[in-house]
Amino acid sequence: MRRMREDSVPHGKPDFVIRQMTVADMPAVMALEKQAFRNPWSPELLQRELQHEWSTILLVEEELKEGGPLLLGLAIFWIVHDEVHVLNVATAPEHRRRGVARAVMDEVLARGKNRRCTLATLEVRRSNEGALQLYKSLGFRPVGIRPNYYVDEGEDAIVMVLDF
């Protein structure tokens, strides 16, 4: 578990806790998926990701003064050989623009660097301007298009790459 304190994070960002998902987190993660996406991941797919040794699901939480932690966002990624592949990044709609996605992506990339990865890849909806801006600010660059990648909406994905 990694805690990001206000005094250690630029611009006084909130006190986020980033930790690895467990099976007990499934109800909260499914609720977040349903809030964040028109086509959320299924419980079966998430369960499978929890079982793969190359897959990691990180949760971003905020400790509430009353009632324990609140799930703000997540990232699902693989580390295979020298590559980080980001499969999913989600932020609860009411907590967007607070640095949640940036915090979890910073952690994903740090874990990749610690494992001596040389490359990070991801796909992002062509229409997702906020995510595109975030990924570009992290150093990702567009390298291609996957036509009709998001089949249910018929939307293309932009393939992005970051060299470490």
How does pLDDT run across 90-118, given as a tens digit for each residue? 999 999 999 999 999 999 999 999 999 99
Stated pTM of the model: 0.90
Q: Which domains does the chain have, with CATH numbers?
A: 2-117 (3.40.630.30)
Rounded Cα gap, residues 147 and 40, in angstroms: 20
Question: What's the Cα-to-Cα distance from 131 to each of 102, 125, 126, rounded to whole Å?
Answer: 10, 8, 10
Rounded Cα gap, residues 108 and 101, in angstroms: 10
pLDDT digits (tens, 9 = 90+) for 33-57: 999 999 999 999 999 999 999 999 9
**CB burial of residue 23 (10 Å; 0-12, 13-18, 19+):** exposed
